[in-house]
């Protein structure tokens, strides 16, 4: 008897989106496998963070469908969207901690906002989440007392406070030293496996990303250039993928932002 393949937790079907007159995504279709670590990669400005915002419902697709556990995010009522968001955790670029709240209070915030747990249980959950990221002893520190790597780990503890099914990370390795970067990468992998999560992260860091990801998606020029296992993506012969994986300056990914020709701006040479 053939094995039944679980449906993806997140799926984009022919999604088109842009900001004003600037197109960002052009008919993008992708899947985020349930229970796996998926990396979303590609050149800066290619729409990776936009995809996270579409999944979270901050933006709505102009065409196509964004499905979370089979539900079309763009078609949900406000009440249903908030219910879906409670099943998601988000780690923003550089952590985005509340500057005037302690480490403990930052992690406690979503628990107090979305549950009716008594303070004794809030305390236990916060300390368990901080322990999972190695920072239980930092509970009373303020964000200004933390290094960049520590702040990112506190933000991760906050992102998993409600035991979400999906955790999205927007460039979790940006600005970290090699030690902190390696720690963050291992945490993403370990928490995904130990908590039974589905993880989706945006990254530009090839070595660590390929080491921890089960599924890699390369986005370029508003389209999917490749998606599959790290091994399959690494050996792809698609010019877009080759340019990105090998950091080549020349290739299909545009260097110049679309605009008037040089002749239009400066006039024809004499």
Q: Say what the pLDDT of residue 1 is.
A: 41
Q: Say what the pLDDT of residue 206 is.
A: 84
> Could you give the angle at the alpha carbon of 134 between the alpha carbons of 131 and 139, nearest 5°?
65
Q: Residue 202 CB: number of other CB atoms within 10 A?
A: 22
Q: Say what the pLDDT of residue 266 is.
A: 83
Straight-line distance from the first to the last Cα atom of the chain, in angstroms, rounded to the nearest whole number: 75
In degrees rounded to 5, what are phi and psi of residue 166?
-120, 130
| Structural domain boundaries in the chain | 7-87+164-253, 95-163
Cβ neighbors of 47 (< 8 A, separation 6 or more) are 17, 24, 25, 28, 219, 222
197 touches 180 (CB < 8 A): no
Task: Tell me if the domain spanning 7-87+164-253 has CATH number 1.20.120.330.
Answer: no
Closest CA to 107 of 115, 98, 116: 98
Q: Say what the pLDDT of residue 120 is.
A: 92
Q: Which residues of 29-58 are buried (b: 16+ CB within 10 A; e: fewer)?
A: ebbbbbebbbbbbbbeebbbbbbbbbbbbe
Q: Say what the pLDDT of residue 94 is.
A: 64
3-state secondary structure of 148: helix
Query: Which residues of the chain fall short of a pLDDT of 70?
Result: 1-5, 94-95, 253-257, 268-270
Exposed, middle or buried by CB within 10 Å (0-12, 13-18, 19+), for 197?
buried
């Amino acid at each position: 008897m053939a094995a039944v393949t679980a449906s993806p937790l997140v799926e984009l079907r022919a999604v088109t989106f842009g900001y004003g007159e600037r197109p960002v995504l052009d008919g993008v279709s992708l899947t985020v496998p349930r229970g796996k670590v998926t990396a979303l990669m590609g050149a800066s400005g290619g729409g990776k963070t936009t995809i996270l915002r579409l999944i979270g419902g901050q933006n709505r697709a102009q065409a196509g469908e964004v499905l979370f556990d089979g539900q079309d995010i763009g078609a949900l009522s406000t009440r249903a969207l908030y219910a879906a968001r409670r099943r998601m955790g988000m780690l923003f670029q550089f952590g985005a901690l509340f500057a005037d709240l302690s480490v403990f209070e930052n992690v406690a915030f979503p628990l107090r906002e979305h549950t009716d747990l008594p303070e004794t249980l809030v305390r236990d959950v916060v300390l368990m989440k901080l322990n999972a990221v190695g920072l239980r002893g930092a509970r009373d520190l303020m964000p200004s007392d933390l290094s960049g790597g520590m702040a990112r780990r506190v933000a991760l503890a906050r992102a998993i406070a409600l035991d979400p099914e999906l955790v999205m990370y927007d460039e979790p390795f940006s600005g970290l030293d090699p030690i902190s970067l390696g720690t963050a990468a291992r945490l993403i992998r370990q928490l995904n496996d130990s908590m039974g999560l589905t993880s989706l992260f945006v990254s530009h860091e090839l070595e660590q990303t390929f080491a921890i990801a089960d599924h890699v998606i390369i986005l370029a020029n508003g389209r999917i250039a490749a998606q599959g296992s790290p091994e399959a993506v690494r050996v792809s012969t698609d010019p877009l993928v080759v340019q990105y994986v090998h950091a080549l300056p020349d290739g299909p990914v545009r260097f110049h932002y679309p605009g008037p020709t040089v002749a239009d701006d400066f006039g024809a040479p004499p």
